[in-house]
A and B are shown apart, each in its own frame.
Chain A
């Protein structure tokens, strides 16, 4: 642990502790896992790992929202979903045990907002349902079922009846679910 700690630097480590929900041990573990993904030559903390490499992590591998997660947490200019170490920490922080419901639901909303327009509209919900049920032809719902389902969702959660679910409506639904916090979790 001593060597990894020195690699990360004491100031940086304490700054990360201040800015994320992660503990020291978790940050060090994250750093270790992250440097394993990096190429040998680029060891500085602004180095970016491509999305495909990140997705080989077993914690993300079988998640249907894995690409969306990378895109949401990526600060990359050319929107390829690549993550720096700090982005990676952001990801782990949002999915950690101690992150608040507020943070979790905010990021869940952004993950589900496939077209990044700030509301969940019909297309977003359709993609979301397809991700949940499986994308292949025989697992996805028929278009008739999909239409009925989405109209049900909108009926329930679209409080202001504008045809989309916005963040506060989303959080309203989430806040009533007791097990969201425990299921919206990725721990290394």
Chain B
């Protein structure tokens, strides 16, 4: 207590002396007497003891204290003894907490806990929660964002599986496959290789399109082809909805974070530590997280400061460099595309060999080329973007954008060649082109998975072993530490999912295959992260990047839909041979029409109106009106916020000015010497009651 008063005395003395020698304007406004009396201050901290402002007068601080007397004692930020004193001051009776009150209170807190536990239990129902937690603890939020993304894709694929089962597989199983279907049997020319190639046995199996021939369920509006179509469209529609929703949510989050950017560092420092941490390792990890975060922030800030200082000449130089590097990127992309073209042509040319291995290799040439290009080029892009003098986040984003362009474009080129197809000889046997296309997608999917598998177990793991066994060897030092490169891993996922979307029409079991491969991928990646990789020194921004992940997924989906539309048009228009659900004069386009024709005429005319241009115009107009109203409302709110902010700043500066004026006037009237001694005297008895115990 004594020591405490000494401190306050010292502060008073130093302030007073400073003020008396210089001008009274240096007196900080929040240390003035009148500051405590301001209604706004009293409103913001009603029950706070005034330990920070030592300038308390018994009569001056009556306002706040009267208000404080309504506050429960336990809300006072003072020690128990001081609370007892406060109770005595308030002349309150020692309220005996009865059995009932005690029970009620413990019920409230236990209810709170039950809720928290229930929330935890529900969260832990999500699979791999524990895995995610462990990974987050060691590698940070960025790597966790990747795994969350992976889990999201698994859920999505499980949902697709359910849809496929309900719309496509179920009807086929229940109602048979029409008259001319032979029994599915493994034998004859089939071999295990078929499972990789997607030919032979698999070609006849439910994996591919041609299996789903028209069954006995053959009403006008409820038949297998229609259900097939409905299933596929349901999948695509659902994916669009879900991915768009996810992107929007993420975008909104980042946008809001960006808006509140001003408070960014203060949060990190003041709310940075998690006091619940009990283990030394966890504490160390938390420390390194905070450090990395701060360093990343400082680096970005330094970068933007450097950027602001660049001269015109430097800018010109930089742009020249960037243009050159972009040209390099473009030429690399062009080369890659030519290579894919070459590989596709090569694999489609009918080379007569009987060696199954050569055949396999030729069959897999395009996927191999695509995968290797996609494996190799993004790393080149990463190196290139490091020369371009972008900020770290921008570097990652530039690499991501280039790589996603490469991935999707290479897939697109490959698809184009597959759709155009090789010239069909007049004497070649009729083949189901849909199946062929599905087979290509199947191969891409399988190969992508195999690459993931091999990459981990034949590349990353040996590398890790080498580093562990011979840490000083030249090779180990050359290869360096392994990090989990989030952008590239995400790209792989987006690519696989895009292939799955493109192929789902021709290979309806692709989502099931996707689910299995993704689950295995999750375990492989978990193994890779936990056993082969070391935590990054620089952390990846999770919030902004996950938006980018979903955005890329959206791009993939867009591409899948476009491809599917193009395919449908292409296959149905030029092919006379038909297989699968649509045959016997029915196509994707007229199967719905048949249904419509069977409806009663009012429904028919309504549907026709809905499908016509006459309906499109009012629809577009209505959309425009709704959008306009939302946009203008948003703008008006924005303006109101700006004005309120201005008003806030103005009123607070008014307050500061008035307080300062008041203090200056009071001091001119009073002898500073007297004021000081009076203040100290008043301070002592008050402190005894209200101050927290000495802080040291």
Please report A residues at the B interface, Cβ cutoff 8 Å: 11, 14-21, 23-25, 58-59, 61-65, 71-75, 77, 79, 86-87, 89-90, 93-95, 97-98, 100, 102-103, 106-108, 110, 112, 116-119, 125, 128-129, 131-134, 139, 141, 145, 148-149, 152-153, 156-157, 159-160, 162, 166-168, 170-171, 173-174, 176-177, 179-180, 183-187
Contact = CB atoms under 8 A, between A and B. Distances in A.
A19 B83 contact: yes
A95 B278 CA distance: 14
B81 A86 contact: yes
Contact of A183 (B52, B106, B271, B279): B271
A7 B44 CA distance: 41
Interface string B671-696: 00000000000000000000011111
Contacts of B457: none
A27 B297 CA distance: 43
Contacts of A72: 695
B650 interface: no
Contacts of B84: 19
B270 A112 contact: yes
Chain A facing B: main interface SS: helix
Given A61-B278, A77-B1, A102-B75, 14 more contacts: A71-B696, A98-B108, A103-B77, A112-B270, A116-B695, A118-B51, A118-B53, A132-B291, A149-B294, A157-B263, A160-B29, A173-B270, A176-B267, A187-B276
10 contacts: A63-B273, A77-B1, A87-B80, A110-B695, A116-B696, A156-B263, A157-B270, A170-B270, A174-B271, A186-B275
> Which among B3, B83, B696 has the highest number of chain A CB atoms within 10 Å?
B696
A176 B264 CA distance: 11
A128 B269 CA distance: 8
A148 B41 CA distance: 31
A133 B595 CA distance: 68
B75 A103 contact: yes
A125 B266 CA distance: 10
B96 to A, nearest CB: 6
Nearest to B649: A159
Contacts of B287: 64, 132-134, 139
Chain B facing A: main interface SS: helix
Given A162-B28, A185-B276, A71 B695 contact: yes
Contacts of B41: 168
B129 interface: no
Given A15-B94, A133-B287, A134-B288, A149 B278 contact: no
A183 B275 CA distance: 6
Nearest to B4: A116
Contacts of B11: 117-118
Nearest to A18: B97
Interface string B45-62: 101100111100000000
Contact of B273 (A64, A87, A148): A64
Contacts of A11: 96
Given A97-B109, A102-B48, A116-B696, A17 B102 contact: yes
A19 to B, nearest CB: 5
Given A133-B294, A145-B298, A186-B275, A176 B77 contact: no
Given A19-B74, A157-B263, A59 B278 contact: yes
A173 B267 contact: yes
Contacts of B668: none
A177 B260 CA distance: 11
Contacts of B298: 145, 148-149
Given A15-B94, A21-B74, A75 B28 contact: no
Contact of A14 (B96, B295, B696): B96
B148 to A, nearest CB: 18
B91 interface: no
Interface of B: 1, 3, 7, 11, 28-30, 41, 44-45, 47-48, 51-54, 73-75, 77, 79-81, 83-84, 94-98, 102, 105-106, 108-110, 112-113, 260, 262-267, 269-280, 282-284, 287-288, 290-291, 294-295, 297-298, 301-302, 652, 656, 692-696
A20 B275 contact: no
Nearest to B116: A97
Nearest to A10: B96
A73 to B, nearest CB: 7
Contacts of A162: 28, 30
A21 B94 CA distance: 17
Contacts of B274: 183
A25 B106 contact: yes
A21 B595 CA distance: 69
B266 A173 contact: yes
A29 to B, nearest CB: 12
Contacts of B28: 160, 162
Contacts of A16: 80
Contacts of A160: 28-30, 656
A75 B269 contact: no
A63 B275 CA distance: 7
A149 B94 contact: no
A173 B110 CA distance: 30
A79 B77 contact: no
Contacts of A180: 270-271
A156 to B, nearest CB: 5
Nearest to B264: A156
A95 B77 CA distance: 12
Nearest to B291: A133
Contact of B271 (A15, A87, A177): A177
Contacts of A100: 75
A158 to B, nearest CB: 9
Given A18-B73, A168-B41, A64 B283 contact: yes
A98 B112 contact: yes
Given A17-B105, A23-B105, A75-B79, A152 B277 contact: no
